[in-house]
């Protein structure tokens, strides 16, 4: 065995999870190795050319607030920015941006190559070395062994990957890459339970063959928002997207060829994502729907490739071409890359602790699609936490475990390790009980204190954060201190600034509860200090939704008390005879960290939780 080097942390895979994991680990002072099948494909976006979206935009902001890289890279490389759900409240509004795929990869590679303590190598890892249930290193295809105190699995969809295009089936990773065919066996030999999932992607078409005049123009927002709290230069919209629709002719072709669909004829065995179905799945699931919307999204500034968002498929190529040509604007479209399905191995996340470390293998962590999730953003969020906690493991310091009331990242990881998943997991705002507290606009206020404490916040980030927090506090305090008394003079002034009359004495803050009243209007009327737009938005939201936020915070605080009741790791659930049999089995399998986590396990009843509480209190006494 040739030992090539020794590291504190080795990261397997340089996708969105692996990059955040490696950057966090290295920045926290650990000697880190980041391995990838291809250096040219680091940070690759094999599916849609976008960052963010509903709930996903929240994750990007949270990754940024914790000192991660995705938001910064997105602001530098995205070419159109749109905020979704602007007609709804701030809790569900989310930023989504079209990225230039190649520039994004180049920027991320540059970040990785310029972090002290981080080595980047093109390697295929084939084996994980474990002794006495503890990580000792990894073995590469080249025969090199790299010793390590901790290893992070971030293999994405490459584990025993299989590409499926109609009857054409071959081993491979996304976008024509190699697959990791031996690592699955190595994991099984370690006792890791694997699942078989499936995802897919649409065809890419040549923009020169599209008729955009037959489509609806989709412009970016003006002015556009940015992802990172560090971005000072305004981001810009450089491209447009386009909207078109399928029709009955499209659907008829798909129905006629369903017997050739791999998902229908048994070729595909893996479980696919419910919330991002293929076009053939949509035809089966929604037979009465007359049309499905499709977005034409540019893949970058220096390419003619367009992504057909909404038309994921694994149909044979003749069918892909035939149904594509029924769509307005795509009658002459030429396919540059075929749509395909990919089957891959991933692990059952119930095997992980909330730190993303395996329960039975000390120092072994996992993050991203290898945990059964889908999406770049979910991957980056897990990668960041895995990197932080792998570094904490090496340095023997406290891990970072975010609560459900604290971050969407907390919801994501808790769902995975407590409930598991039987399909590719996608983050949605509906999964969060406290989404009014977990808005994308306040991610820095919630999480940057963690980054500062950990040492992941730069001096500049800390300065920007503390300045914004001080602005919000002083502006809110000032608005509550200034009192208005109704009089003809006061009401005339209020009306002249479009603020409406008052009939009772009230603090100036009360006016912000009125529709269309902004801090800027109050500043103009009452000569208030000028503050940043970001701080002003926080002041407005905080005051307008104060009652709702207070109620949700009180509920979160009440339930968080259960999170603070830690269950001793050595507990023998089989010995607690007052627990129901199902509860004993589920608790023994998942081994929850706290009473709060135990209460969310399917099959554990309130009566079972009472038994646990009594047992813990008996121990305490």
Mean pLDDT of 3-26: 98
pLDDT in the model for residue 577: 85
Give domain limits for the chain: 204-341, 472-555, 565-620
Q: Between these two residues, 621 and 294, which has the higher pLDDT value?
A: 294
Average pLDDT, the chain: 94
Distances (CA, A) of 607 to 408, 557, 578, 583: 29, 22, 9, 10
Whether residue 410 is predicted with pLDDT greater than 70 in this model: the reply is: yes
pLDDT confidence bin for 617, thresholds 50/70/90? confident
**What percent of the chain is modeled with pLDDT above 90?**
88
The CATH architecture that domain 472-555 belongs to is Orthogonal Bundle (1.10)
Mean pLDDT of 174-181: 89
pLDDT confidence bin for 266, thresholds 50/70/90? low
408 with 55: CB under 8 angstroms?
Answer: yes
Mean pLDDT of 501-511: 94
Whether residue 519 is predicted with pLDDT greater than 80 in this model: the reply is: yes
Whether residue 424 is predicted with pLDDT greater than 80 in this model: the reply is: yes
C-alpha 431/C-alpha 410 separation (Å) is 11
Hey, what CATH topology would domain 565-620 get? DNA polymerase; domain 1 (1.10.150)
Q: What is the CATH number of domain 204-341?
A: 2.40.30.260
pLDDT in tens, 61-94: 999 999 999 999 999 999 999 999 999 999 999 9
Structure tokens at 185: 């066996």
pLDDT in the model for residue 575: 87
Distances (CA, A) of 46 to 176, 244, 347, 468, 505: 10, 23, 21, 37, 59
pTM of the model as a whole: 0.95
C-alpha 25/C-alpha 83 separation (Å) is 32
- The kind and range of the H/E element at 335 are strand 335-337
pLDDT in tens, 561-616: 889 899 998 889 988 888 999 999 999 999 999 999 999 998 899 999 999 998 88
| Residues paired with residue 125 on neighbouring β-strands, in sequence order | 140
pLDDT in tens, 96-127: 999 999 999 999 999 999 999 999 999 999 99
C-alpha 236/C-alpha 223 separation (Å) is 8
């Amino acid at each position: 065995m040739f030992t090539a080097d020794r590291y504190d942390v080795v990261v397997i895979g340089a996708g969105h999870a692996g990059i955040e994991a490696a950057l966090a680990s290295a920045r926290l002072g650990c000697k880190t190795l980041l391995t990838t099948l291809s250096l040219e494909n680091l940070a690759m976006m094999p599916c849609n050319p976008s960052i963010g979206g509903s709930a996903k935009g929240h994750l990007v902001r949270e990754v940024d607030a914790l000192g991660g890289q995705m938001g910064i890279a997105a602001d530098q490389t995205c070419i159109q920015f749109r905020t979704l759900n602007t007609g709804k409240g701030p809790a569900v509004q989310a930023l989504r941006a079209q990225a230039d795929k190649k520039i994004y990869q180049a920027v991320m590679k540059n970040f990785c190559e310029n972090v002290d303590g981080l080595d980047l190598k093109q390697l295929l890892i084939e084996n994980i070395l474990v002794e006495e249930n503890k990580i000792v290193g990894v073995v590469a295809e080249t025969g090199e062994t790299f010793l390590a105190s901790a290893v992070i699995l971030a293999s994405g969809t490459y584990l025993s990957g299989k590409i499926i295009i109609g009857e054409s089936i071959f081993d491979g990773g996304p976008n024509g890459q190699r697959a990791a065919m031996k690592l699955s066996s190595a994991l099984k030999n370690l006792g890791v339970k694997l699942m078989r999932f499936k995802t897919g992607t649409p065809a890419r078409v040549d923009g020169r063959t599209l008729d955009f005049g037959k489509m609806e123009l989709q412009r970016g927002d003006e002015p556009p928002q940015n992802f990172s709290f560090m971005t000072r230069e305004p981001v810009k919209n450089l491209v447009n997207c386009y909207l078109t629709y399928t029709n009955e002719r499209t659907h008829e072709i798909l129905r006629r060829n369903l017997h050739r669909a791999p998902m229908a004829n048994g070729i595909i065995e893996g479980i696919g994502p419910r919330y991002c179905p293929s076009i053939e799945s949509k035809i089966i699931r929604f037979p009465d729907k007359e049309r499905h919307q499709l977005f034409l999204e540019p893949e970058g500034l220096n390419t003619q490739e367009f992504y057909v968002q909404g038309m994921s498929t694994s149909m044979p190529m003749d069918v892909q071409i035939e149904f594509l040509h029924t769509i307005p604007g795509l009658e002459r479209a030429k396919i540059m890359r075929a749509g395909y399905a990919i089957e891959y191995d991933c692990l059952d996340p119930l095997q992980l602790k909330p730190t993303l470390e395996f329960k039975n293998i000390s120092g072994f962590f996992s993050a991203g699609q290898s945990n059964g999730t889908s999406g770049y953003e979910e991957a980056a969020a897990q990668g960041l936490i895995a990197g932080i906690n792998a570094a904490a493991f090496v340095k023997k310091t406290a891990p970072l475990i975010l609560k459900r009331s604290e971050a969407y990242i907390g919801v994501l990881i808790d769902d995975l390790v407590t409930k598991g998943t039987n399909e590719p997991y996608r983050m949605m705002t509906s999964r969060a009980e406290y989404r009014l507290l977990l808005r994308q606009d306040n991610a820095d206020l919630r999480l940057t204190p963690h980054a500062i404490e950990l040492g992941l916040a730069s001096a500049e980030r800390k300065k920007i954060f503390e300045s914004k927090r001080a602005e919000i506090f002083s502006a809110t305090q000032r608005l509550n201190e200034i009192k208005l008394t109704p009089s003809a003079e006061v009401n005339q002034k209020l009306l002249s600034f479009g603020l409406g009359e008052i009939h009772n004495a009230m603090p100036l803050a009360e006016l912000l509860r009125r529709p269309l009243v902004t801090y800027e209007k109050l500043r103009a009327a009452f000569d208030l200090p000028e503050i940043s737009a970001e701080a002003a938005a926080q002041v407005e939201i905080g005051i307008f939704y104060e009652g709702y936020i207070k109620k949700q915070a009180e509920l979160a605080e009440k339930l968080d008390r259960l999170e603070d009741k830690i269950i001793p790791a050595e507990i023998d659930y089989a010995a607690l005879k007052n627990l129901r049999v199902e509860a004993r089995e589920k608790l023994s399998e998942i081994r929850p960290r706290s009473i709060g986590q135990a209460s969310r396990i399917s099959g554990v009843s309130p009566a079972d939780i009472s038994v646990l509480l009594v047992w813990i209190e008996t121990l305490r006494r």
